[in-house]
Amino acid sequence: MANRSNRTLLRAAAELLNAGNGVRPLGRKGYGTIPAFAFGWPTSELAPLYLGGSALDALRRGLRGDFNSVKGRIALVLHSISWALLVLIARRNVASKPHFEEGLRDALGPDYQQVAATSDPAAGARRRAGVFGTGWSRRRYVTKTSTVRYGPYGGANLADIWRRADLPKDGKAPVLLQVPGGAWSIGMRRPQAYPLLSHLAERGWVCVSIAYRVSPRNTWPDHIVDVKRALAWVKENIAEYGGDPDFVAITGGSAGGHLTALAALTPGAPEFQPGFEDADTSVVAAVPVYGRYDWYSDEGAGRREFLGFLRRLVTKVDIRTHRQVYIDASPIDRVHPDAPPFFVLHGADDSIIPVPEGREFVEALREVSSDTVAYAEIPHAQHAFDFFGSPRGHYTAQAIERFLSWVQARRQEDS
């Protein structure tokens, strides 16, 4: 009985610790950020599921008598505090919507939604269908015949094409290229960004979700070369799937956010396009989400650990002897007046890539870019806040769609 009481108390303490970490990451420096993210990320986005599961399990154990002892009653108090924190997390998630809208309104103007609504992503395919789950939505919009090979490197160069079944082949729908994250060492095209891809495909867009060569098997700049190769393939082939090669935007989160920003800022850069230097790799807009934009600074939370990670697994060269490699890979060092429109999103409680990195990149862009730079900083959001079908995931999809539709509407006005 004593052992059961101890286990009950330890379990309640662990749940409270996890809920507290979801409210605010407990690790913000060094390698402690990794477990803080690993446990806090799903908790901060799926709090209602944790709450329901914990409450039902507590009911089962209560009927068994686990809370009858002094330790059991203490455990029940800890559970109650955990449940209150999970309710707080869920309410924060739902309440984050205005922060996505404020970032767009500040940059695009108070009437941006009305302007975005005038875009024409595919006139014959606007019928609303609804999306009830990321797995279900992928099966709806992606078929086996829609998986293509965009480059010569086997499974690393595969892409899924998301499109409505009723999209006409001559629809000239706007196109979005999705670059997955994964610390430049995973790069799985499934199941990242499903809420966004579903949302856009449902509205008549063509979306291309790619894989690319990753470390440590491959070495920088293979990652960005593949992204560029994918862009070139899209420009040459997407019309066969009903897409408009003249309207190709790019997005990605985390490492994908870095690659998104770098690709958007370096169209035609020969060092990243070996063997296809003349290919068109420009984009009409870029939406990097919680990206890493500086590869060379060593000041700030987690910077030294990050540089060590790059040296060991990604670049495989020391910054002290190959500093230019790190500078050339940094979007913050590539900003220029002709940058395309940018919409940068970052979570204020990101424990993997601290939010100052997003702020600094936006500031650098705004100092020199002659085009739009929108920024949304989401309070209490962890890294990868758009992954699940949580409220934040849906708000992210809606905000990105409105931004891109605004860009398209503006281009339609200018043409």
Of 383, 386, 390, 394, which is the active-site residue?
383
Question: Which value, to the nearest 10 degrees, does the dihedral of the CA atoms of residues 187, 202, 243, 210 take?
Answer: 10
HSE of 335 in the Cβ direction (CA atoms, 13 Å)?
20
Active site residue 322: no
Report CA dihedral (349, 352, 354, 359) to the nearest 10 degrees.
-100
Catalytic, 390? Answer no
Distance CA 155, CA 151 (A): 9
Cα separation, 126 vs 167, in Å, equals 9
Contacts 24+ apart (CB under 8 A), 36-41: 36/351, 37/351, 37/352, 37/382, 37/383, 37/384, 40/351, 40/382, 41/382, 41/383, 41/384, 41/385, 41/387
CA distance 73 to 354: 39
User: Packing angle between helix 222-237 and helix 255-265, nearest 10 degrees?
Assistant: 60
If you ran DSSP here, which 8-state letter would residue 339 be given?
P
DSSP conformational letter for 33 = H
How many Å apart are CA 395 and CA 397, to the nearest integer?
5
Q: Which residues contact 95 (CB under 8 A, 6 or more apart)?
A: none
Question: Which residue is catalytic, options 160, 244, 294, 350?
Answer: 350
Catalytic residue (one of 82, 209, 215, 254): 254
Q: What angle do the packed helices 97-108 and 391-414 form, to 10 degrees?
A: 20
| Catalytic residue status for 258 | no
Total residues belonging to the chain: 415
Q: Which residue type sits at 413? A: E
Closest to 285 (Cα-Cα) out of 409, 113, 385, 171: 409
How far apart are the C-alpha atoms of 33 and 206, rounded to whole Å?
Answer: 36
Q: Of the candidates 214, 108, 200, 105, which has an alpha carbon nearest to the alpha carbon of residue 153?
A: 214
List the catalytic residues. 254, 350, 383
